[in-house]
Structures are given as C-alpha cells and as structure tokens.
Structure 1
Amino acid sequence: MLEQFIAENPVHTEISVAWGEMDALQHVNNVVYFKYFETARIDFFNQINLLGDLQTTQVGPILSDNHARYKRPVTFPDTLLVSVKISDIKADRFMMNYTVFSKTQAAATTLGSSQVVMFNFKTGKKATLSPELIDVLRSYEETANE
C-alpha cells in the first residue's frame, strides 16, 4: 500500500505525528490536519519556487477556502505522508488537493483541499498567475479520472 501511494503521489511530505497533537478522545485533533496541509503546501511552494519573488513582487498565494474530510482517526505514534495534487487552474487561482496516508494503518486517513488565490499585497487585490506558474502547475495537475 505504501509503495502504491508513493507511486501515485510523487509529490508528498512526510510528517511525524506528535503526542501533543492528540485530543481528549486520544486521536489527532481535527484542527491539526490543517497544519499538516500547510506543511505540505509550503513544501510544494518551495519546490516550485512560488515564494521566491514574494519580497520583490509583493505577489503571492493566499487561501480563500480550506476543507478536510476525515475518513479514519490517526493516533500517536505514526508517520504520515501528505500528498499534493493540483486541479481547477484559473487565471488567478488554483485548487490544492491533499491525501493524508498513515504508515501505521497503511491507508488514507484524510482528504483535503485548499483554494489558493494569487494576491498582490501592494494593491490589496487579486493577481493573475504568471504563464510560467500556470505551466508548472499544469505539470502537477491531477486528471479528472483520478
């Protein structure tokens, strides 16, 4: 199962579950998954150098929407792989889709998505994605059949 997940999700981030992420019900608290998504998202942004020009251009990504669907509880100790795939690329936005895979359970535990909007911090308005960024995002785009 792990090998299949990695083969189908080459862009992923490995995250160790911390003891303090569990709640009174003895599983990872639902809010923590948004931190996992953020870690995978920033890793992906760094991989494609999306944040590289932020200081000079003042244009960068913000979130307009964030979702999680919990399929199975996760407990400490565990190591998770959080995959990233891209969909719904528009002129000023794109969707990031996440799958959280538990090594201990050898199964997907959580699905998520984030709507990423390009934003000009100078003007306070949306910005368009550059043609170069669109090309890079398309190389990570998941197909409708997946």
Structure 2
Amino acid sequence: MERFIHDVAVRWSDLDAYGHVNNARFLTLYEEARVAMFFVAARARGLTSFEEGIVISRHEVDYLRPVDYGDPVRIELWISELRAAAFTVAYELFDGGVLAGRARSVCVPYNLAEGFPRRVTAAERAFLEPYLST
C-alpha cells in the first residue's frame, strides 16, 4: 500500500487563542492534502472525474497533541475502505516528525450538476487501489 504524502503550511489564521492550531482547522489541513490527491495527483495521471464532485458524508478526528505555528505539517493519507459508491480516506498528521492527529473521511462521488451521488468509476478505482490498505 502506498501513502500519498503532502506538506501543508500552518497559517497564522489557523491558530486559536492558546496559540495552537484550532481543532476545526485540522479538518482544513486534511482537506488541503485530500484536494492535492484527488485534484492535482489524479489530474497528473489523466483522471479529472473527481473534480466533477465529491462530498463528505462523515469525518472522524483524533487529536493526539497540540500543533503550534511553525513549519509545515506532513499529512499522509491512504484509502482504508473502497466500496461501490463511497471510499474512506484515512490520514495521519505529523508535526516535526511527531504524530499529532489521525482522521478519517467518508467520501462519496457526487454528480454536482444533477444533484445525486454516483458510483466509483473503474478509472477512479484504478487510481485509488494502490493507496488501499489491506
């Protein structure tokens, strides 16, 4: 299984009153890595269908330690479950090489133009399978 790795800058606006990354902003950091995978990396491999729509049906976040302003964080993500009409992205967030958070997002391919969920295509499945944990 491969992991998709993406560095994300921590912005001043990500911080809370205590000087740590706000809990809600963790989801933004995970989102930036997920977008890099499904829009940038997928497009580089000739796959653009994810850009037509993906919605999130569930998030789970485990906060393991505070993250301060500073160097970018490293987010590693992979696919923990791949079904006919949904897939789950798992993440680990590292701050200075130390695991600071884990999360999971259930993603549903979605036809934004028509307003309904759709199935994972064969091309999307082929893109996701190298990242699928067994």
TM-score, normalising length: structure 1: 0.80
Q: 1:80 touches 1:101 (CA, 8 Å); kept in 2?
A: yes
2:61 equivalent to 1:68: yes
CA RMSD of aligned residues (A): 2.1
2:48 equivalent to 1:48: no
- The letter of the residue matching 1:69 is D
Q: Pick 1 or 2: higher relative contact order, CA cutoff 8 A, min separation 6.
A: 2
Greater shift, 59-68 or 92-101, is seen at 59-68
Cα distance, 1:120 vs structure 2? 1.6
Q: Which runs of 4 or more aligned residues in structure 1 lie more than 4 Å from their structure 2 counterparts after TM superposition? A: none
Closer, same or farther in 2 for the Cα pair 1:51/1:22, shift >3 Å?
farther
Q: 2:2 touches 2:132 (CA, 8 Å); kept in 1?
A: no
Matches of 1:16 and 1:88, distance apart in 2? 28
Q: 2:3 touches 2:78 (CA, 8 Å); kept in 1?
A: no
- The letter of the residue matching 1:17 is V
Count of residues in correspondence between the two structures: 131
Identify the match of residue 112 of structure 1 among 103, 106, 109: 103
Runs of 5+ unmatched residues, structure 1: 1-7
Matches of 2:50 and 2:87, distance apart in 1? 18
Greater shift, 81-90 or 119-128, is seen at 119-128
Larger radius of gyration: 1
Closer, same or farther in 2 for the Cα pair 1:9/1:140, shift >3 Å?
closer
Runs of 5+ unmatched residues, structure 2: none
Determine what percentage of the aligned residue pairs are the same residue. Answer: 25
TM-score, normalising length: structure 2: 0.87
